[in-house]
Amino acid sequence: MDKLRKKAAARLTKMPKLTDAMNRQDIQKLFEELQIHQIEIEIQNEELIRIQKNLEINRHKYVQLFEQAPISYVVLDPVGIIKQFNATFMTLIDGMALKQSGQAFADLLDKTDADAFRARYKAFFKSPQGKQIEARLKVKKHQFLDILIEACRQEAGLNTDHTRPTEELLVTITDITDLQHAKRQSQKALKAMQKKESEISYLLEAARLIIEQEDFSRTALSIMEICSRVVGATFGYITLRAEEGKDEHVLFPEFDNISNREYKKLQKQIASLEQETSQSIQADYINHLPISGNQNSLSPGQLCPRNVLFAPLVVNNNAVGVMSFINKRSDFTNTDIRIAEGFSELVAIAFRNAHLQERRQTAEKEKVKLINELTEALANVKKLSGLLPICSHCKKIRDDKGYWNQVDVYIQENSEADLTHGICPDCIKKYYSDMDGYEE
């Protein structure tokens, strides 16, 4: 204030004195004008002080709002350099070393996201309204947060040379790590559900094959091929346990480039592993089988097992066979076991249905045979009814073919009666009169 007074006094000494040419009245009037002007200046000064205090209060509120806002704020210049940031942003990056100014915001992002941010920043700065950028923000060494970037443009204030104010970008950064995690979990659950739906559709397709089953071998191989597609096996086959006195039966699918000879050769290589599955009645897999020879030197049509999965066919708690799946591109898993067990149950149902069908057909044949025998017997019994041509002297009976037969022979052939021969009393007297002591 003293400095300002000295400057005013110095200027006054340089100005011409007017009091010598003024009368007392003029001086009085000038004095009053000066007093009024002084009071106006004091009023203006008080108003300026009040406005200055309000500006300080508002500035403090703005600083507090900027610094303590629950949202991370970063101010960027037109080329993406950080000009300012708030305390919330520092908390978000967990105190990671950050320059107060002069650091590119893209340097804080994951490399892939940083390249994408730099490529988009010019257009983003020009028109940020309604645009969002998702990126991964470095918070610690090898640790990142998923963030959502939104922004609006604002004036940075007058430049030092009072030229047109430059513009800057007020960026809000929202931590969406939990949201992204939930999103990924939802996508994972959706994929799992879609996979389940796919498995169910394949199971329904296999079940339809059982309903339409006419031949067990075709049905079983079709179900096995469906299961191979689901678990990702390259090929497979079905081994049916040998019945007593019979050889083991193996069902091989038809491939243009693979012969039954190759299948049988493969089946011999892993027969002992199949036997273990059959005995345990538990599905199992073996990855990374030891490969004999150089697999790259195999000719087309040759089979070399790298990994295998076995699923037993269980009927009445007994393994009647084994489904074998060979050479999945990746390793077999417990999920593959669960899927294979579902399809093996369907093959076991088809096997049981085939045996029931066979027993029913055998019973039908036996029933038809019995009906035919009963019909023939009934027809023969009917021959003894009605008029029978019998000789009045020798008592022989003429059959349908015109031959004369003894009565006992005719009755025995045309009825279910069994005859025994004896002698009646009259014939004894007539033909054996010398027999004494006979009593009726």
Q: What is the pLDDT of residues 279-314, one digit of tens each?
A: 889 999 999 887 554 444 444 445 678 899 999 999
Those residues whose C-beta lies under 8 Å from the C-beta of residue 226, and which sit 6 or more positions away, are: 202, 205, 206, 343
The pLDDT confidence band at residue 220, using thresholds 50, 70 and 90, is very high
pLDDT of residue 20: 61
CA distance 223 to 215: 12
Contact indicator for 72, 86 with CB cutoff of 8 Å: yes
Tokens, residue 91 = 């908390």
**Residue (of 74, 97, 208, 82) closest to 150 by Cα position:** 74
**Contact of 89 with 170, CB cutoff 8 Å:** no
Cα-flanking dihedrals φ and ψ of residue 20, to 5°? -65, -30
pLDDT at position 437 is: 53
Q: CA 271, 277, 279 angle in degrees (round to 5)?
A: 100
The DSSP line for 90-136 is HHHTTT----SSS-BGGGGB-HHHHHHHHHHHHHHHH--TT--EEEE
pLDDT of residue 168: 93
Place of tokens 């599905």: 283
- 263 vs 119 pLDDT, higher one: 119
pLDDT-above-70 percentage for the chain: 82
User: What is the average per-residue pLDDT within 82-87?
Assistant: 89
Give the bridge partners for 258, in sequence order: 255
The mean-pLDDT minimum among 59-63, 163-167, 418-422, 436-440 falls in 436-440
- State residue 301's pLDDT score: 45
- pTM for the complete prediction? 0.53
Task: Say yes or no to pLDDT of 23 above 80.
Answer: no
Alpha helices, H only, 249-406: 260-269, 271-280, 334-382
